[in-house]
Every structure is written in C-alpha cells, then in structure tokens.
Amino acid sequence: MFNEKVVLVTGGTGSFGKAFIRRILTEYTPKKVIVFSRDEFKQSEMARDFAGFENIRFFIGDVRDKDRVKRAFSHVDYVIHAAALKQVPAMEDNPTEAVKTNVIGTMNVVEAAIDCGVEKVVFLSTDKAVNPINLYGATKLTAEKIITAANTYSGNKTKFCCVRYGNVMGSRGSVIPLFRNLAERGIHEFPITDLNMTRFWITLDEAVDLVVFAITHARGGEIFIPNIPSMKITDLARAIDPSCIFKETGIRPGEKVHECLFTNGDTNTIMVDNYHAGSYRATGTFTSDKNRMLTVEEMRRILDDLE
C-alpha cells in the first residue's frame, strides 16, 4: 500500500507520528513521507533522528490554517491525521483552543484532502470520544462525525476512516514516565486519582499496526477499533514499583473511572482482531472494567520492552 506513495502525517513529531513514520520508511519504499507539524524545534530534533532517510520531508504548519494544509496536501496519496490537543485538564480550561485544533483543524484536513485528491485519510480518535464527559472527548467525537460524513460529499475519490483506541503505552503524556520518575527518586507514594480506575492499553507498535490495517482495508466511513486488553492503574504502578503505596487524589475535571471503546449506539464500528487476522461489526458495549485485564507480570514485561 505504501510503496511509491506520498504519505503525510499531521502532528508527525508526536509519539505516534515518529513510530508510524519509522515503520513506513523501514518496511516499505514510499516515494516521500511528509511530517506536518507546527513545532520547528521538534522537527529539527526528528530530522536528526531520521538523518539516514532521504525521502522524508518536514513541513511547518498548523491544521488551523486551511491554506497551509491545502498547500501541504498537494500531490499527497495518504494522510494520517494525528494532530490534536489532548491533555484533558488543559482542554477543560481552554475549550476554544481545543475546538480550533481538534474540530476546525479536522474540517480543514477534510476540505484540503478532497480539493487535493488525496486517496485515503485516517483520523486518530480516542476512547474518550465515546459518551464524552470532557471537552477533549467531545471534540474528538465531533471530529469523528466530520471524518465519516466527509465520505458522502467526496465523490468517492477520497476515502475517510477513523481508528479509535485507548491509552498508548509510553507515549508523551502517559502516566508511565511519572511513576518511573517517582520510583527513580526513591518516592514510593504514587498519586492515583481513583483506586478503582481502569484503562484500555495499547502499545505504539499496535497503534501503528491498526493504522496500516485501516489504510489497507478502508472503504470509507469505518471506525476501526482494536481488540485490546485493559489494566488497573494500581497494577501498573505495582509493575513499576512493587513496594509502592497510593495517595488517592480524587477524580480530575473531565476524568472517567472507566473508559469505553464502543456502545450499542455506535455505527460503522469495526472490531479488528490482531489487526491483520480479520474484522467484524462491533456490537454490545466494550468497557475497560469489563475486559481482560493485564496482570502485573504482563505489564512488567511490556514495560521492559519499552526501555
């Protein structure tokens, strides 16, 4: 799918973007891979990390700027739309900024993709878009609707789809670096907002697998959801520091105790088993507390692989 194609990733300097781009550059022969983001310092750092690849390009721009997005999408085959404002507490305090990037930015991506004749667009969503109680989740739900609806007026020339998953292990903003930092400093009391909290968990490699699957199989309008396990936040902490104790700090504004990846009311949701093995229409409800839980030992092995 990627050989001799031009691939662009919005928010390409983020954790997912770097993992995805490295996969594409090492396992395929794309004509060109474009990193689209607004932070020139992160682009310069990434350029050093990817110095051995001749077919990577860096394009400074913001998804809020439709003209710049349209210029970047010229002659692009595939777009992975990963750019977003993601920190839940910050978005509760700055709702207009979340709307500008996550909603209007997605509208700009859709219009530019159609105008430029992009073949496929994959939008990265989140479990927080399901029955959202925070502003971040609400903007992601709105963006999902914008992406899926775009198929109705693209003339079937550009196909739009979504992938929706939970927390990414080891990504920027993950709780793992916080817990590790405390353990390294000899601090064994870990702050936990709620001792019952559970989360879906996915590795960066699995997230990349899912997007590759979506690019390969999308016909337009799907929301691809991975069949991933859950974990208890307290078990994650014990995987990092077996001797840790907990200080319960209370739920933050916009935070859920448990997350949900789909409900009975979802449409066009496709559950993907092992990413490449097959898929089926999702039915019922998929919540992080009623799911297979990773054990402390399983998480410890995964965490060891992240180091």
Q: Which one of 128, 140, 159, 256 is the catalytic residue?
A: 128
Name residue, tokens 């919005």. 10
Cβ neighbours of residue 184 closer than 8 Å, sequence gap 6 or more: none
Give the whole-angstrom CA distance, residue 85 versus residue 90: 9
| H or E element in which residue 98 lies | helix 95-98
Would residue 5 show up in a list of annotated catalytic residues for this protein? no
Tokens of 262: 């789909």
Spatial separation of the C-alpha atoms in residues 141 and 112, rounded to whole Å: 20
SS3 140: helix
Beta-carbon contacts of 113 under 8 Å, excluding residues fewer than 6 positions away, are 73, 79, 121, 150, 154, 158, 160
- Cα 77 to Cα 81, 122, 159, 191, 306, distances in angstroms: 13, 12, 11, 45, 32
127 has which bridge partners?
none
DSSP 161-191: EEEEE-EETT-TT-HHHHHHHHHHTT--EEE
Strand ranges in 127-257 using DSSP code E only, listed in sequence order: 159-165, 167-168, 189-192, 198-202, 223-226, 230-232, 245-248
Tokens of 234: 């307290």
What is d(CA 9, CA 172) in angstroms, rounded to the nearest whole number?
17
**Which residues form the catalytic set?**
128
